[in-house]
Amino acid sequence: MLAAVVVIALCAAAVATTGVVVAAARQSRVELASPLLLYPVVQRTEGACPAGTRGVTGPEPSCYQVTEGIVIRRVGEAGVRLLRDDSHGVILQLVGADSEAFAGLTRAQRGKQIVVVVNGEVVAAPWVDSPITGGEVVITGRFTRSDAERLVHDLTGGRS
């Protein structure tokens, strides 16, 4: 009887382990060709950032003075989604520690702005309404579908 219980327990453990391995294998990871840099904005001023300022210049032009942020190098998924305003957004599914770091960043920046930088260019400067804890990043900017697809391609090097 004891042997049967041990065999059943071992079989259950093997099935559970197999499920975890299969689930992990299904969660593909996309290596980003260009890292996604996310910075908390301390202050925004009109015009380009003066030399020596810890900041990034946006296309408006605006100087976003920033503090230490996070760098995203890989995602679980990257794609384009049609948004409610009929523009398109870039969807990135963060995984692991990046998802947790992003949740911490958005908690700290609630009611404040963050800046999203790709290849040295500001692609979005959203205000954080509430913490984003699910790991899904939506980059918006009233992109056309082709603009959003180009950004996904630039981020992933065509590996999405």
> At residue 20, does pLDDT exceed 80?
no
The structural domains of the chain, with segments of one domain joined by +, span: 29-156
The pTM of the whole model exceeds 0.85: no
29-156: CATH topology is: Gyrase A; domain 2 (3.30.1360)
pLDDT value at residue 154: 82
> At residue 49, does pLDDT exceed 60?
yes
Find out whether 41 and 59 touch, Cβ atoms under 8 Å: no
Nearest CA to 36 out of 81, 4, 78 is that of 78
pLDDT value at residue 3: 43
Average pLDDT over the chain, rounded to an integer: 83
The SS3 of residue 120 is coil
Beta strands in the chain (DSSP E): 30-46, 55-58, 62-66, 70-75, 77-82, 88-93, 114-118, 121-124, 136-143
